[in-house]
Structure 1
């Protein structure tokens, strides 16, 4: 990720930050700059801002731009766990460790490579490198994803994600024993000003709401069900760490010294519910807990006896 830094040394009369960056970064469109701001990739004085922010003398602006190169997506015979498919959507149960789409350092073996091999009908809204991809989950998070097979379906689904009407349920195994049976975490999440690859609870950013319910308590851990009211990057991982109960195995937000040798955070996207793009009916898709998750929970149950 490339960083551009600007120090405002002169007074600028009521100039918006997106307009200023459009003048300064001549190779980027204003709409792309606004997208960077929306995704918390623009910080002013180490805080996230909105496009309408008026810059002032002394402001330090940091812009993080993903360095992209055109990647040829090759069809690969990679196993796909397809839960459902019709003319408009594919519901996939992604395994832990699989990257959703090709990017720097991950060109092969991704979900997209498998999808291209499986179907020639995928939406083109997100370009040739992310055909069909409406939303993502982290590499080491397993679970349910919806794929769009045409542009109309993609746009309808994207609008539902934007309106936060998609129902998303996750199972998470966290460190420590939660006292309350249910709870809601309502904060602002934005780019971590000290570590740009991380997100954090900050003063300025986007509102993030996670509802959780305790399913089982163990000696030193808790199994919780999380329902997302919003869908920010790393939301559950950031929120659970924020309340002092990071996800077991989380290499970014978890404990520095992990008690278990795991491949990544214990987080599974259990179900996904939405209005079908053409049938106009509410549909819900669920996946079973994967083997890695069951083994860990079984191990913790035995330790309680």
Structure 2
């Protein structure tokens, strides 16, 4: 049967699959080797969801198939290995490091790792330029990457340095163990001032590079609370329960309170210009997680970068 690169393949779990390992079931159904599937499981590309899309969980390769669910595989189109451009990233600071992992303060305009069509700087290339030698499994261009931030989103991003840390951190992010706290400035005043946005997210049917709230999308949950209200905009603290691409941007846009400066998702360009913003006001402010080897609690905090600080000062009438 096979799987097609770049496509999403789905298999309905029947009673005959009950209790069997998901990787074995998928291997038999699609004729894909279990070693290939193991790589996809480790990269978080295999999930189980209920038929109504209300429950969605990323799977480990040893997970059992459950009747009434369907197995979903986001088949990567890896093609030829991408070249890692080893170049310094001037504003990328190191927030934490030990022998097992390093946490960087990712600047805007920097991608997590190389990808087709991206010619700018990357966290992977920036760390290589600093002399870091990452030793983990996975594609060479994604060495050590266990989670990602959008190119235009700044803040804390952790990278594994060893295979032991990579495996543990991948499991943590798959199982939603880390606490990911973002700060965002959104247009207007959200109502209620604190709440939960529970709405499925999928690719926008009219724009391949955008996402939207859509029936049949992946279950997505965002918790928020208001920190400071300015009238035209509001500073909110956001805790992600799930980690979909563009999740915060899409959810607040769906509420008609897009992140200030996020022109892709409907922000007011006049307000963005008044505040001197050329990207969304969105920052990965704090990351809390158990150390991947010792298990001790680690909290890493990133201060606001200059452009977001300036915009906040302008909203407060201080600039």
Q: TM-score range by the shorter chain?
A: 0.7 to 0.9
2:162 to 140, 150, 154: 150
Unaligned runs of 5+ in 1: 7-13, 41-48, 55-62
Aligned alpha-carbon RMSD (Å)? 3.6
In structure 2, relative to structure 1, the CA distance for the partners of 1:39 and 1:253 (3 Å cut) is: farther
For 1:169, what is the secondary structure of its paired residue?
Answer: strand
Which of 224, 232, 246 is residue 244 of structure 2 equivalent to?
232
Give me the whole-angstrom Cα distance separating, in 2, the residues matched to 1:39 and 1:195: 24
2:222 to 196, 210, 227: 210
1:266 aligns with 2:278: no
SS at match of 1:137: coil
Q: How many matched pairs?
A: 280
* 2:60 counterpart residue number: none
CA contact (8 A) 2:260 2:268 kept: no
Distance 1:107 1:150, change over 3 A: farther
The structure 2 residue matched to 1:70, chosen from 53, 68, 81, is: 81
Q: Cα offset for 1:185?
A: 0.9
1:149-298 counterparts in 2 under 5 A?
149-255=161-267, 257-261=269-273, 262-298=277-313
SS for the counterpart of 1:197 is strand
SS at 2:173 equivalent: helix
> TM-score, with normalisation over the residues of structure 1?
0.78
CA 82–227 in structure 1, closer or farther in 2 if over 3 Å, else same: same
Name the SS for the 1:129 alignment partner: helix
CA distance in 2, matches of 1:253, 1:37: 26
Match of 2:126 in 1: 114
The Cα shift of 1:254 comes to 2.4
TM-score of the pair, normalised by structure 2: 0.75
1:267 positional shift = 0.3
| Closer/same/farther in 2, CA of residues 68 and 292 from structure 1, 3 Å limit | farther
Provide runs of 4+ in structure 1 moved above 6 Å: 2-6, 18-21, 29-37, 49-52
- 1:290/1:257 CA distance change after superposition, 3 Å: closer
Task: Give the secondary structure class of the aligned counterpart of 2:308.
Answer: helix
